[in-house]
Amino acid sequence: MHSRSFAYFPLALVLFSLFTATPLLAQLATTSTALDIDKVDTKAFAALFRRENTYLQMAKSARSPASPEAHLDRVLPQQFELNADSSASLQKIASDWERDTGVLRTRFLQVVAQFHSTFPNGRLGPGVDSTPPSEIAELHAQMDTVTLQYRDKLRNAMQEPNFQKLRSDVEKTFAHYPPTTSASAPIATAAEVQK
């Protein structure tokens, strides 16, 4: 069952306007603090883990110990003032996170390829349904869940005050809390495409 036919645009616009004006949406917009923190953390810690893996990979493939890239494995420990134990935990956890999310990303790419293959001649156009399969959103949710699990593993591997400092620093660096005000900007999901 598809929902985003471009022909629905006028109706969607009216409905969206009505919907955004209701107290219900106001409730949705001010979701619980725990959910907001988790949402910020999924972005912040995913960025931290990506960064850790990138730096380690570049450091390992440095041409020589004297080359600037060889220093990259020290950047995050310095930037976030991690001790040796915390730094080692981050290395291991970031690597494991990449492995687990990689599996989900591979599945995501398969679903997307299958989804795009349904477009006539590989193209979208008026009357062509662009509604993504629900599995895509489910995979994103699973990736977020995995990231939060690895955030918690990192927390368990560190002393609590050290973790809280890292969390605060990582959120400041890679995500903002509370979510930016532009988050309230709605996306019209059933728009008529002007040719």
Partner 1 sequence: MKMLWTLILTVVPCVPALSQGVIGTTTIHFDPNSGIGTATCETALDSDNGFYESRTSCSVVDQYGTVVATGTADDPGDRQGSAAVTVTFTGTPGYTYTATSMHQAAPTVPFDTPPGQPAQLYDEYNFQSFAENPESYDDYWEWYGPGPQLPTKQRVIRIGNTYAIAIRYYTPTELSQLITSAQSLFPAHCDAIFASVVGPSYTNANFFAQLRITSIIQYPPGATPPPDIPNPLDYPDADTQIGQPGKPIRVFINFYPTKSGFAFPSFREFVLIHEGLHHYTGWYDFPKAGFSDFKTKFYNSGYRNNGSTTGPFTDWLHAGCPPAPPGS
Binding residues for partner 1 (CB under 8 A): 1, 3-4, 6, 8-9, 11-12, 15-16, 19, 28, 39, 43, 46-47, 50-51, 54-55, 58, 68-69, 71-72, 74-75, 78-79, 105, 108-109, 112-113, 115-116, 119, 122-126, 128, 130-132, 136-137, 140, 172-176, 179-180, 182-195
One DSSP character per residue, 138-179 reads: HHHHHHHHHHHHHHHHHHHHS-HHHHHHHHHHHHHHH--SSP
Q: Which of 92/127 has CB closer to partner 1?
A: 127
Minimum CB separation from partner 1 for residue 123, in Å?
Answer: 5
Structure tokens at 166: 């890292």
Nearer to partner 1, 108 or 163 (CB): 108
Minimum Å gap between C-beta 100 and partner 1 is 14
Q: How far is the CB of 156 from partner 1 (least distance, A)?
A: 26
**CB of 33: closest distance to partner 1 in angstroms?**
17
User: What is the number of residues in the chain?
Assistant: 195
Report the distance separating Cα 137 and Cα 4, nearest Å.
15
Cα dihedral sign for 93, 94, 97, 103? Answer: negative
Quote the DSSP letter at residue 80.
Answer: T
Q: Which is nearer to partner 1, 123 or 160 (CB)?
A: 123
Chain centre to alpha carbon of residue 79: 22
